[in-house]
Amino acid sequence: MTAQLERSLVIIKPDGYRRGLTGEVLRRIEAKGYTIAKLQVTEATRDQLDAHYAEHEGKPFYEPLVEFMSSGPIVVAVIEGNDCIKGFRSLAGATNPTEAAPGSIRGDLGRDWGLKVQQNIVHGSDSTESAEREIAIWF
């Protein structure tokens, strides 16, 4: 089985940006061997967030998530590399920083926010279809 060259969207969320972790997250992405193809600091619009999180609309955590994601600057990046979608999700660690393995971004840098697991430093696309859709929203 050969590795597949992929593209993925990575977002450094407002908590990661606010805590000055952008450089560390990008360093880890590059150290893993992935290329940063596009990069920008931006503030998310409601339209972008509604499109990005469309599958979660109507769920109890939706509005708090959108509110959090619009609470400050974010960094959006397109990364490229062999199997980078699966690889970055492993590098990011479990969604809940308390459960994330040491060595992962969330395991090393995340904080226990109680029920606010959306404050977990990073987002990474979960499939090639999601990556294509998400990249089109942000770039």
Active site residue 56: no
Q: Is 111 annotated as a binding residue?
A: no
Q: Is 61 annotated as a binding residue?
A: yes
Which CA distances in Å does 121 have to 3, 58, 82, 83? 27, 23, 23, 21
Q: Encoding tokens for residue 54?
A: 């469309």
Q: Is 82 annotated as a binding residue?
A: no
Exposure of 24 in the CB half-sphere (CA atoms within 13 A): 16
The residue from 74, 123, 124, 138 that is catalytic is: 123
Residue with tokens 């980078």: 84
Q: Is 120 annotated as a binding residue?
A: yes
Q: Is 59 annotated as a binding residue?
A: no
DSSP code of residue 56: G
Q: Is 45 annotated as a binding residue?
A: no
- Please state the residue numbers annotated as binding site: 13, 61, 89, 95, 106, 120
Residues that constitute the known binding site for ATP = 13, 61, 89, 95, 106, 120
**Residues labelled as active-site residues:** 123
